[in-house]
């Protein structure tokens, strides 16, 4: 049996090593008890043809904290639905930070709310739902 702090460290390490997020340069700051925070410094290669951060990067950052928050218990949770609203543009060399918060969790479903900021300006919101599987990726 794994003690609680070691188990939480194993969960965080697993979530932190997500290949796609690492490819994009995302840094997971926290992931625990249905909440998560991550950030990225957008580079020139993350911009669209208008010179602003591509919507796919913003979506991916929101989705990353959604995945981290929903899997923060060590139990496998898979996304089944999400909706994003883009409120403002992000720019290169202005830090993007995303936060996820659990809204409600049942035995098999959970709902999350995400916010993405460019520095201190809210630039996107996302609502999403996961299906909670019975398997754990880090044993209790």
Mean pLDDT of the chain: 96
User: Rounded to an integer, what distance in angstroms lies between the CA atom of residue 73 and that of residue 32?
Assistant: 7
The reported pLDDT for the residue numbered 73 is: 95
Total residue count of the chain as it appears in this document: 140
The reported pLDDT for the residue numbered 2 is: 58
The reported pLDDT for the residue numbered 4 is: 74
The reported pLDDT for the residue numbered 32 is: 95
* C-alpha distances out from residue 67 to 35, 39, 82, Å: 10, 14, 11
1 pLDDT higher than 60: no
Cα separation of the two ends of the chain: 7
Residues of the chain with pLDDT > 90: what percent?
A: 91
24 pLDDT higher than 60: yes
Alpha helices per DSSP H over the chain: 4-16, 19-24, 55-70
Per-residue pLDDT of 59-82, as tens digits, reads 999 999 999 999 999 999 999 999
pLDDT range class, residue 36, cuts 50, 70, 90: very high
The reported pLDDT for the residue numbered 140 is: 65
**CATH number (domain holding residue 73):** 3.10.129.10
Its domain, for residue 96, covers 4-136
Record the tokens describing residue 134, joined without a space.
Answer: 């019975």
Per-residue pLDDT of 89-133, as tens digits, reads 999 999 999 999 999 999 999 999 999 999 999 999 999 999 999
How many domains are there within the chain? 1
């Amino acid at each position: 049996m794994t003690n609680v702090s070691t188990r939480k460290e194993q969960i965080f390490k697993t979530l932190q090593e997500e290949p796609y997020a690492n490819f994009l340069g995302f840094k997971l700051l926290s992931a625990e008890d249905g909440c998560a925070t991550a950030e990225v410094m957008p580079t020139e290669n993350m911009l669209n043809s208008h010179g602003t951060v591509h919507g796919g990067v913003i979506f991916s950052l929101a989705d990353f904290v959604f995945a981290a928050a929903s899997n923060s218990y060590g139990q496998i949770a898979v996304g089944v639905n999400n909706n994003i609203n883009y409120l403002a543009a992000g720019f290169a060399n202005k830090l993007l930070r995303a936060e996820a918060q659990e809204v409600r969790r049942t035995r098999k479903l959970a709902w999350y709310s995400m916010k993405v900021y460019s520095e201190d300006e809210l630039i996107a919101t996302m609502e999403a739902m996961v299906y909670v599987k019975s398997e754990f990726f880090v044993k209790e």
